[in-house]
Amino acid sequence: MISQILFQQIAIMFLILFCGWALCKRGLIDPDGARGLSNVLLYLVVPCVVMRSYITEFSWERLRDLGLSAVLAVIALALAFLVSHLVYGTRDRTRNFASAFCNAGFIGIPLAQAAFGAEAVFYIAAFTTLLNLLQWTYGVWVMTGERKFMAAKNVLTNPVTIALAVGLVLFCTGLTPPAVVTRAMDAVAALNSPLAMLVLGTSLAQADLKQVFTEPGLYRMSLVRLVLAPALTLAVFWLLPVGSPTLRLVTLIAACTPSGTMSVIFAQKFGCDAPLASRAVCLSTLLCILTVPLMMALAGRLIA
């Protein structure tokens, strides 16, 4: 059942991705426009999604589950980092980063919401926050091999981190913004999935599709990102039943998502192979329409 819901949601997302691809190919969205949409997504939409998920009634049970979801996120991310390091090490920093860091925010959140409802966003926010923190610490080291590029300011001022901090304050204190504010946040948060797919569609339109589909190394990287790391995570979650089945399945959805667009941004920023990162994101995003439902169908049998 979960796999069917996910397959339908991914199919919808890919139809929107195709719209982004077509608009870019027709010249209706240029690279500058695509970067603008990315900024709207990063600095407005995703923070609204995260913050809105915490505007809910406080309970000790929810707080406990939030802590457990953070523990599960640490396990999933650590396993992804381990597998990527064993496969690529420091020999191929771009593929190491692209296979280690997933697209939990832009793809994982709407998939989890489709499968488990709005409550799932409350728990997957811990995963996305840890992911962002680790991108600016461990991820920077993967890309550069240098610790000097790690900036505490970048970690602490990340929009997702700020949104989580504000959301936790609202959740723990029971403070609720005026209804007009929450409705506005709901409207903005609803843009998350379609806007993310439009942005990914523009990235696909700018990539060399021949290289995307004919480069063997990209398939190996996608295997690490979409199959090996999630399968290892599923095995550990099955053997180590931390939290409820729903918490483990929500975390697993995030862990199954394709390479994140931050791999392209970081590759550009730190002088690595940005075109390779872009092709990796494109191929893994296309392949996830098959791998995510299959992995979650298996998880549904083992965990649910």
- Can you list the positions of beta strands (E) in the chain? none
Structure tokens at 241: 């039943």
CB 108 within 8 A of CB 253: yes
Looking at residue 150, what is its pLDDT? 62
pTM, 2 dp:
0.85
Radius of gyration of the chain (CA): 18
Residue keyed to tokens 């771009």: 94
- Selection from 275, 234, 223, 231 nearest residue 87 by Cα: 223
Looking at residue 151, what is its pLDDT? 63
Looking at residue 1, what is its pLDDT? 62
CA distance 151 to 280: 26
CA 206 to chain centre: 21
Looking at residue 260, what is its pLDDT? 85
- Averaged over successive runs of 10 residues, the pLDDT of the chain (304 residues) comes to 76 86 89 81 83 84 89 95 92 91 85 82 84 84 75 71 87 89 92 82 78 89 96 93 86 93 78 82 88 90 80
CA-angle at 182, arms to 251 and 131, nearest 5°: 25
Domains of the chain are: 2-298 (1.20.1530.20)
Task: Count other C-beta atoms under 10 Å from residue 57's C-beta.
Answer: 8
CA 189 to chain centre: 15
CB 186 within 8 A of CB 52: yes
Q: What is the DSSP string of 238-267?
A: HHS--S-HHHHHHHHHHHTS-B-THHHHHH
Looking at residue 194, what is its pLDDT? 86
Looking at residue 193, what is its pLDDT? 78
Looking at residue 226, what is its pLDDT? 96
CA distance 173 to 18: 43
Structure tokens at 118: 């709005």
